[in-house]
Amino acid sequence: MKRYSFFFKDTKPFVKLMMLICIFMVFTSISGFIMLFANLQPLLAQAISQIIMFGGSAIVWGIMFESSSYKFMETKKNNTLYYIALSILLVFIATPFIDGIGIWNDGWDIKSGEAFRQMEESASEIMKGFLSNTTPLGLTINIIVIALLPAIMEEVFFRGAMQRTMINLVKYRFLGILLTSIIFSLLHFQLFSCIPRVFLGLFLGYLYVISQNIIVPIIFHFINNLTVVVGSYLFYSNLIEFDINKLGSVYNPLLFIISILLIGSIFIYEKKKAKKIQIE
């Protein structure tokens, strides 16, 4: 008897990418349908949506085109601790740069852009409501739902599945990472913070490429989100006097320049190291 399989071997990268997007759209519709009829708490609804849209899409895509629900993600173990430490350091090194870019992006004067700004402000108010919960349980839930789950699900989808396929499609690593980062930013539907998110996507993409381990960008993503959660907790608990998550709170022209120089130095060092390894 002939055995049937959902594994499509030797599929072209363009088809893989289009199918990834189609699967994502299907799972987004499923998630929306569930949220429409299920009376769930907002944070629980957000968690379930993340798992279905990003996690579910990546798993199904992996089974269909990579013969595994998870093996398409690179998990090289060499120098893992070094790259994890580098990713954590990069979060804080890049903060003044991201904050400065964010100020510029937020100042865009776009015709007919008021609707987008209102959407972002509404989303910000909702998020503020979550982050202002200063109970131990509230902090724990925020860490899981706002920091941990998005880090895992989005990296599995964008870096594990999409970026790899995009690079194979365009045959140029930087362009593949850039295009994935742009899509990563656009799918957050926040016009006035899209440019900083593109740069975050670039950092995540290159961390994945140089480390060859999906855990590394997950750690960077998690720590980046965690600073928002913990910073808000400290502020709303009156343990610190200023909201470190407020746009421009860590921006300083000198720090902005230093941040750029340090980011550039890390990139140049890793590029030279990669070339040296290839020669050896």
**pLDDT number for residue 117:** 82
Amino acid 4 reads Y
**pLDDT number for residue 1:** 40
Q: Average pLDDT for residues 48-76, to the nearest whole number?
A: 91
- For 3-49, the pLDDT digits (tens) are 545 668 788 999 999 999 999 999 999 999 998 888 888 889 999 99
- 16 occurs within a structural domain: no
How many Å apart are CA 56 and CA 47, to the nearest integer? Answer: 12
- 174 occurs within a structural domain: yes
- For 192-216, the pLDDT digits (tens) are 889 999 999 999 999 999 999 999 9
Residue 112, pLDDT > 50, answer: yes
CB 136: neighbour CB atoms within 10 A? 9
**pLDDT number for residue 6:** 65
- For 215-238, the pLDDT digits (tens) are 999 999 999 999 999 999 999 999
- For 244-270, the pLDDT digits (tens) are 778 777 888 999 999 999 999 999 999
CB 137: neighbour CB atoms within 10 A? 8
- 42 occurs within a structural domain: no
Structural domain of residue 90, as residue ranges? 74-279
- 270 occurs within a structural domain: yes
**pLDDT number for residue 31:** 95
How many Å apart are CA 35 and CA 187, to the nearest integer? Answer: 18
Per the structure, the count of domains in the chain is: 1
**pLDDT number for residue 277:** 66
How many Å apart are CA 38 and CA 160, to the nearest integer? Answer: 30
- For 70-102, the pLDDT digits (tens) are 888 888 878 899 999 999 999 999 999 999 999
Instruction: Kindly give the interhelix angle for 215-236 and 194-211, rounded to the nearest 10 degrees.
Output: 140
Are 203 and 94 contacting, i.e. CB atoms less than 8 angstroms apart?
yes
Average pLDDT, the chain: 90
Are 227 and 98 contacting, i.e. CB atoms less than 8 angstroms apart?
no
How many Å apart are CA 172 and CA 276, to the nearest integer? Answer: 20
- 89 occurs within a structural domain: yes
Rg (CA), the chain: 20
Eight-class DSSP state of 79 = T
- 248 occurs within a structural domain: yes
Q: Is the pTM of this model over 0.85?
A: yes
- 30 occurs within a structural domain: no
- 69 occurs within a structural domain: no
How many Å apart are CA 234 and CA 222, to the nearest integer? Answer: 18
Eight-class DSSP state of 157 = I
Q: Which two tokens mark 142?
A: 């925020």
Q: Which residues contact 63 (CB under 8 A, 6 or more apart)?
A: 6, 7, 69
Q: Assign 190 to helix, strand or coil.
A: coil
